[in-house]
Amino acid sequence: MGKHQRVWCCCLTEEKLGKKMEEFMTALDQVKKYRQLINSLADFALIIVASVIAVLSVNIIVNLLPVLFGYDPIQLNPINFLLSLVLLLSGLSAGVLWVDRKIASVRTGEWKSSLNEGTPGVLKLLQELKWETIFNDIRLAKLGFVLYGFLRILAYWTLIFIPLAILSAFLQSIIHTSISLIVVLMIALILVLILNRNDLIKRHEQIGNLDSLLWELRWFDSEFRRADFKA
Amino acid sequence: MNSEGPISRPDLYVLARVIKVLKEKNRLNRTNLATYTGLSYDRLMKYLMWMSDKGFVQLDSNGDVSLTKRGAETYENLVKWILEYVGKVRFPES
């Protein structure tokens, strides 16, 4: 191989290495974002619980109005329904926005300036990686990813169930046809699963990917530790 | 790393920086090499001694440093090694 050809090949390899390392660091940034999910979950759950408590409070107040002030309960039903819907939608939106904001606040791409140095920068990044923290983050990221998905399903389920339950009560008061609450719960769950089908599939795949990333990085770490600068 | 004694396990980042500069500039005197790599002269000298022992660089009596064929090949092998290993890792979708 001639000298020029050799230099050209080496530059290409270094360029490829830079690109691959960029993918690698982007994946680790993604893990950091998923890791942030778990920190935001308590807030998300609190926001949802607060909105459910608000809905229940409104229901109790609206149900007391006919007893205390003699309002017509049939006239109050649509107001109750609308208020519940607005409160639940607001709670869910606030929860999702809060989590998104928290995730967006994660600092990423801080490694880009090191990558501009080429191969030395790649080595610097690899040496500075705290592998045990990364492995721990991946494990927590998986948990956060699963829990967030579960909470989202639960939130949507509640969101769909309450209006359906109110609708069922409304139907019972108008046409005296009662639908069992369990049937309403099941209908709500089926609707949620259908609406979130793509998200569930993606979530399942990502968890598998995070799992394999964890194992591959463990293996890479042990190889990198053993590596020495040998000719 | 102990700054007084010789290098036992060198920093790969520093080695790669020295080799990269030498590859680009071909031959440099030690002072200029220290400037280009951003290393203190003393630290650079320790690395150059270690690299010279391993046959990666050649130091001449004028104080010039050049990369040997062995040094260039080692660097290329290191790049290929990392690429091979990092290349095997499959990443989750972002």
Q: Quick one: pLDDT at residue A117?
A: 86
pTM above 0.90, yes or no: no
Query: Minimal Cα–Cα distance from A84 to chain B, Å?
Result: 36
Coil, strand or helix at A118 = coil
Note the pLDDT tens digit of each residue in A59-91: 898 888 888 888 887 788 888 888 888 998 899
SS (H, E, C) A135-148: HHHHHHHHHHHHHH
The CB density around residue B49, as the number of other CB atoms within 10 Å, is 14
Q: Quick one: pLDDT at residue B38?
A: 92
Note the pLDDT tens digit of each residue in A91-122: 989 998 998 899 899 998 989 998 888 889 98
Q: Give the bridge partners for B59, in sequence order.
A: B65
First to last CA, chain B: 38
Determine which helix (DSSP H) or strand (DSSP E) holds B27, and give its type and residue range: strand B27-29
Note the pLDDT tens digit of each residue in B49-93: 999 998 999 998 888 999 999 999 988 888 888 887 777 666 555
Domains of chain B from N-terminus onward: 12-88 (1.10.10.10)
Minimum-distance CB partner of A123 among B12, B71, B76: B12
Q: How far is A116 from A122, CA to CA, in rounded Å?
A: 9
Domain ranges of chain A: 21-226
Q: What is the mean pLDDT of residues A209-228?
A: 74
Query: Minimal Cα–Cα distance from A27 to chain B, Å?
Result: 6
Q: Number of helices (H) and strands (E), helices first, in chain A?
A: 7, 0
Coil, strand or helix at B65 = strand
Q: In terms of C-beta density within 10 A (0-12 exposed, 13-18 middle, 19 or more buried), how is residue B37 classed? A: buried
Q: Is the dihedral of CA B78, B80, B83, B85 positive or negative?
A: negative
Q: Quick one: pLDDT at residue A134?
A: 83
Q: Sheet holding B57-59: strands in order across?
A: B27-29, B64-67, B57-59
Burial A2-35 (b: 16+ CB within 10 A, else e): eeeeeeeebeebbeebbebbeebbbbbbbbbbbb
Q: From B56, which residue of chain A is nearest by alpha-carbon distance?
A: A231
Whether B38 and chain A come into contact, CB under 8 Å, resolves to no
